[in-house]
Amino acid sequence: MRILVAGATGAIGRQLVPALIRAGHSVIGTTRTPAKAELIGQMGVEPVIVDGLDAQAVRAAVIAKQPEVIVHQMTDLANVTDLRHFDRAFAVTNRLRTVGTDCLLAAAREAGVRRFVAQSFCGWTYGRSGAPVKTEADPLDPDPPQELRRTLEAIQHLERAVTGSEQPEGIVLRYGSFYGPDSGILSRAMIDQLRRRRVPMIGDGGGWWSFIHVADAASATVAAIERGRAGNIYNIVDDEPAEVSEWLPALAAIVGAKPPFHVPTWLGRLLAGEHMVAMMTEVRAGSNVKARRELGWQPAHPSWRAGCAEIVGHSGGHSAAA
Ligand SMILES: NC(=O)c1ccc[n+]([C@@H]2O[C@H](COP(=O)([O-])OP(=O)(O)OC[C@H]3O[C@@H](n4cnc5c(N)ncnc54)[C@H](OP(=O)(O)O)[C@@H]3O)[C@@H](O)[C@H]2O)c1
């Protein structure tokens, strides 16, 4: 298939592009900068320079390239550090999820694109009551903490627009929290914070999280492009949902940090905000049963614990902190 990856240079795009080429697809990849276009070209991909928030440029690119499938992987999270002001940190990403999705879908419709696959998130977005591990049929949080509202609204906008589209047919992938070499919870910034003991465990650490190795997120995306059911949402997560009280100390140990400090919820609220307290004590994880069954996919890294240890082991435990 002829597939346009919007956001080919990000954490997922860099894994997805080679996976698509290995699966025999021809790939067009977007970036905003000429320097990265050269890198995309070196991967054997046709580069396009386009800003995802520029409707005319997006329309022109899609019509010129005539892909059969578009994969929306545009986020703007590379320089996010201040999660205390969560909605502010996610502001451009949220525009890419709303305005960016609408522009790309409109262009896809006009160009006769057959299928549209978009990135969403699996984790704190789910309702914070009931079972600790949620399926795609479970409701999203009806009353999120104030600081997460705009981000959840943007995610819901993207999910509604994509799953509600008939031409192109749409599929949404809710990826768990990423990890990979210098990525997600193994990014330099996160490892640095863990080693400085600046990621405290708040309250009982009873919030549940789901993780996914970026290579597994890519293989699931290839499977969704080839076999996903139109109009559906899939949780793309590993087999080991875990409470913060379990994964945070384990991750600290994996990166060679001392165990995290414990702080009571009242102090966590003061230091990090209500939303971070919720993320550490109340949020829910996701189940991958539907993705396994319908996509014929399984994670090559079923456990974040083993996957993170393998990555840190390969880097000698040092590279991410360099
Ligand atoms: N589920 C998760 O846990 C999750 C999801 C996403 C990201 N993350 C984490 O966040 C960190 C940063 O993510 P990332 O490496 O993917 O970088 P990123 O800065 O989020 O960029 C992702 C992609 O979006 C493109 N992009 C950004 N703004 C754009 C715009 N206005 N128009 C068009 N394209 C645009 C980028 O292209 P150019 O920069 O080449 O223009 C890049 O290809 C990583 O550690 C990653 O693991 C986690």
Tell me, what CATH number does 112's domain have?
A: 3.40.50.720
Residue 169 belongs to some domain of the structure? yes
Nearest CA to ligand 1 atom 22: 10
Exposure class string for 120-135: b at 16+ Cβ within 10 A, else e: bbbbbbbbbeeeebbe
Instruction: Tell me how many degrees the CA angle 67-69-70 measures, rounded to the nearest 5.
Output: 90
CA 78 to centroid of ligand 1, rounded, Å: 6
Q: What is the dihedral of CA 130, 136, 141, 147, to 10 degrees?
A: 130
Residues 6+ apart with CB under 8 A from 93: 75, 76, 77, 151, 154
Nearest CA to ligand 1 atom 1: 177
Residues 6+ apart with CB under 8 A from 95: 53, 154
Residue 272 belongs to some domain of the structure? no
Residue 203 belongs to some domain of the structure? no
- Which secondary-structure segment (H or E) carries 290? helix 289-295
Residue 188 belongs to some domain of the structure? no
Residue 317 belongs to some domain of the structure? no
Is-contact 322 191, C-beta < 8 A? no
> In the structure, which protein residues have their CB atom closer than 6 angstroms to any atom of ligand 1?
7-11, 13, 31-33, 36, 51-53, 73-78, 96, 121, 175, 177-178, 183-184, 187
Pocket test for ligand 1, best of 16, 50, 51, 76 (most atoms within 8 A of CB): 76
Domain that holds residue 146: 2-178+210-239+285-301
Residue 201 belongs to some domain of the structure? no
Instruction: Transcribe 187-222 into DSSP letters.
Output: SHHHHHHHHTT-SPEETT---EE-EEEHHHHHHHHH
pLDDT tens over the chain, length 322 residues: 999 999 999 999 999 999 999 999 999 999 999 999 998 999 889 999 999 999 999 999 999 999 999 999 999 999 887 889 999 999 999 999 999 999 999 999 999 999 999 999 999 999 999 999 999 999 999 999 999 999 999 999 999 999 999 999 999 999 999 999 999 999 999 999 999 999 999 999 999 999 999 999 999 999 999 999 999 999 999 999 999 999 999 999 999 999 999 999 999 999 999 999 999 999 999 999 999 999 999 999 999 999 999 999 987 655 443 3
Into how many domains does the chain fold? 1
Tell me the backbone φ, ψ of residue 158, rounded to 5 degrees: -60, -45
